[in-house]
Structure 1
Amino acid sequence: MAEAWNTLLGILFLCCWSSTMGAKNYVLYKDATKPVEVRVKDLLGRMTLEEKIGQMVQIERANDWNELEECVLSGSLFSGGGSVPADRASPKQWIDMVNEFQKVHGHNNVYKATIFPHNVGLGVTRDPALVKKIGAATAAEVRATGIPYAFAPCIAVCRDPRWGRCYESYSEDHKIVQTMTEIIPGLQGDVPSKFKSGTPFVSGKDKVAACAKHYVGDGGTIKGINENNTIVTDNELYNIHMPAYLNSLDKGVATVMVSYSSINGVKMHGNRKLVTGFLKRKLKFRSFVISDWEGIDRITYPPHKNYSYSILKSVKAGVDMFMLPYNYTEFINGLTDLVNKNAIPMNRINYAVKRILRVKFAMGLFENPLADYSLIDKLGSQEHRELAREAVRKSLVLLKNGKSAKRPVLPLPKKAGKILVAGSHADNLGNQCGGWTIKWQGQEGNNLTIGTTILQGIQAAVDPSTKVVFNENPDTKYVKSQDFSHAIVVVGEPPYAETAGDNQNLTLPHPGPKTIKNVCGAVECVVVIVSGRPLVIGPYVPEVDALVAAWLPGSEGQGVADVLFGDYGFTGKLARTWFKRVDQLPMNVGDKHYDPLFPFGFGLETKPSN
Structure 2
Amino acid sequence: MKVDNRRKVRGLAGALASLAAVVFLVSCCASGASSGGKPAGQAKGAWSDASLPAESRAAELLKKMTLDEKIGQMTQADRQFLKSYADIARLHLGSLLSGGGSGPDENTAEAWADMYDEFQGYALKTRLGIPLVYGVDAVHGHNNVRGATIFPHNIGLGAANDPDLVERIARATAVEVAATGIDWNFAPCLTVPQDIRWGRTYEGYSENPEIVSVLGSAAVRGYQGTDLAARDTILATIKHFVADGGTFGGKDRGDAKISEEELRSIHLHPYFAAIGAGAGSLMPSFSSWNGVRMHAHGELLTGVLRGEMGFAGFTISDWAALDELGGTPEHRIALGINSGVDMVMVPEHYESFITTLKKLVKDGAVSEARVDEAVLRILTAKFKLGLFESPLAEREFLDRVGSPEHRAVAREAVRKSAVLLKNDGILPFKKENLKAILVTGPLADNLGAQCGGWTISWQGGNGPVTEGTTVLAALRAALPESVAIYDSLKAAEKAGAKIDVAVVVVGERPYAEWQGDTQNPALPPAHSELIETLSGQGLPVVTVLFSGRPLLAEREIAMSSAFLAAWLPGTEGAGLADLLLGDAKPTGKLSFSWPKTLAGIGAEGKKNEKPLFELGYGLSW
Normalised by the size of structure 1, how large is the TM-score? 0.90
In structure 1, the partner of 2:485 is 468
Is residue 493 from structure 1 mapped to residue 508 from structure 2 by the alignment?
yes
Instruction: Tell me, yes or no, if structure 1 residue 593 matches structure 2 residue 619.
Output: no
Q: Which residue of 2 aligns with 1:12?
A: none
The one-letter amino acid paired with 1:456 is A
* Cα pair 1:60 1:79 within 8 Å, conserved: yes
Alignment pair present for 1:377 and 2:399: yes
Gaps of 5+ in 2: 1-27, 33-38, 124-131, 133-141
In structure 1, the partner of 2:213 is 178
Distance across 2 between alignment mates of 1:477 and 1:419: 9
Number of aligned residues: 565
Distance 2:207 2:157 in 1: 13
Q: Is the 8 A contact 2:486 2:492 kept in 1?
A: no
The one of 258, 283, 290 aligned to 1:232: 258
Residue 454 of structure 1: which of 451, 461, 471 is its match? 471
Tell me how far 1:511 sits from its aligned partner. 1.9
Asked whether 1:401 is paired with 2:415, we answer: no
Q: Select the structure that is richer in helix.
A: 2
Counterpart CA distance in 1 for 2:582 and 2:516 is: 34
Q: CA deviation at 1:309?
A: 0.8
| Letter of the structure 1 residue corresponding to residue 445 of structure 2 | D
Instruction: Note the C-alpha offset of 1:438.
Output: 0.3
Determine the C-alpha separation between the residues in 2 that align with 1:22 and 1:314.
36
- State the Cα deviation string for residues 303-353 of structure 1 (Å, max 9, x = none): xx5111110110110000001111112211111111101111110000000
Cα distance in 1, alignment partners of residues 88 and 230 from structure 2:
31
**1:222-258 residue CA offsets vs partner (Å, 9 max, x unmatched):** 1111000011111111110011111111111110011
Moved more, 113-122 or 305-314: 305-314
Contact 1:476–1:518 (CA under 8 A) maintained in structure 2:
no
2:526 maps to what in 1? Answer: 511
Higher alpha-carbon deviation: 37-46 or 392-401: 37-46
The amino acid of 1:466's aligned partner reads V
Query: Aligned runs of 1:42-57 on 2, under 5 Å?
Result: 42-57=60-75
TM-aligned CA deviation for residue 25 of structure 1: 5.1
Partner of 1:354: 376
Give matches, 1:312-461, under 5 Å. 312-402=334-424, 408-415=425-432, 416-446=434-464, 448-461=465-478
Structure 1 position 86, deviation (Å): 1.4
Q: How does 1:70-469 map to 2 (within 5 A)?
A: 71-72=89-90, 73-87=92-106, 89-105=107-123, 106=132, 107-181=142-216, 182-190=218-226, 202-300=228-326, 306-402=328-424, 408-415=425-432, 416-446=434-464, 448-469=465-486
2:571 is aligned, of 542, 555, 577, to 555
Residue 484 of structure 1 is matched in structure 2 by 499
Matches of residues 574-593 of structure 1 in structure 2 within 5 Å?
574-587=590-603, 592-593=607-608
Distance 1:508 1:330, change over 3 A: same
Provide the rounded CA distance (Å) in 1 between the counterparts of 2:496 and 2:551: 31
Shift of 1:67: 7.2
Tell me, in whole angstroms, the C-alpha distance in 2 between the residues paired with 1:272 and 1:425.
Answer: 45
8 Å contact kept, 1:132–1:185: yes
TM-score (norm 2): 0.88
Q: C-alpha separation between the residues in 2 aligned to 1:205 and 1:24?
A: 24
Shift of 1:479: 10
Q: Is 1:35 the counterpart of 2:53 in the alignment?
A: yes
Q: What's the CA shift for 1:510?
A: 3.8
Q: 1 CA distance for matches of 2:89 and 2:610?
A: 56
Q: 1:198 maps to which residue?
A: none
Q: Which residue of 1 aligns with 2:135?
A: none
Query: Cα gap change, 1:47/1:22 in structure 2, threshold over 3 Å: closer, same or farther?
Result: farther
Structure 1: gaps (5+ residues): 1-15, 191-200, 403-407
Partners of 1:156 and 1:218 within 8 A in 2: yes
Supply the distance in 2 between the matched residues of 1:158 and 1:476 (Cα, whole angstroms).
42
1:357–1:588 Cα change, 3 Å: farther
Question: Among the aligned pairs, what percent are the same residue?
Answer: 44
Task: Tell me the distance in 1 between the aligned counterparts of 2:282 and 2:98.
Answer: 18
Name the counterpart of 1:196.
none
Deviation, 1:63, is 2.5
Contact 1:188 1:203 in 2 (8 A): no
The residue type paired with residue 577 of structure 1 is: S
Deviation at 1:24, TM superposition (A): 5.7
Contact 2:523–2:551 under 8 Å retained in 1: yes
The residue type equivalent to 2:256 in the other structure is T
- Aligned partner of residue 81 in structure 2, secondary structure: coil
Amino acid across the alignment from 1:495: P
DSSP-derived class of the 1:436 partner: coil
Change (3 A) 1:150 1:383: same
Q: Is the 8 A contact 1:65 1:71 kept in 2?
A: no
Which residue, 51, 61, 65 being the options, matches 2:79?
61
Q: C-alpha distance in 1, partners of 2:187/2:198?
A: 19
Q: Write the letter of the residue equivalent to 1:341.
A: D
CA-CA distance at 1:495 after TM superposition: 0.3
Q: What do the CA deviations read for 1:512-539 (whole angstroms, capped 9, x no partner)?
A: 1111111122201101111000111012
The answer to whether the 8 A contact 1:476-1:519 is kept is: no
- Alpha-carbon deviation of 1:46? 0.4
Q: Which amino acid aligns with 2:100?
A: G
Contact 1:425 1:491 in 2 (8 A): yes
Q: Is the 8 A contact 1:579 1:587 kept in 2?
A: no
Could you list the per-position Cα deviations for residues 83-111 of structure 1 after superposition, in whole angstroms to 9, with x for gaps in the alignment? Answer: 11114x22221111111111111342101
Deviation of 1:44 (Å): 0.3
**What letter matches 1:454 in structure 2?**
V
- Taking only aligned residues, the RMSD between alpha carbons, in angstroms, comes to 2.1
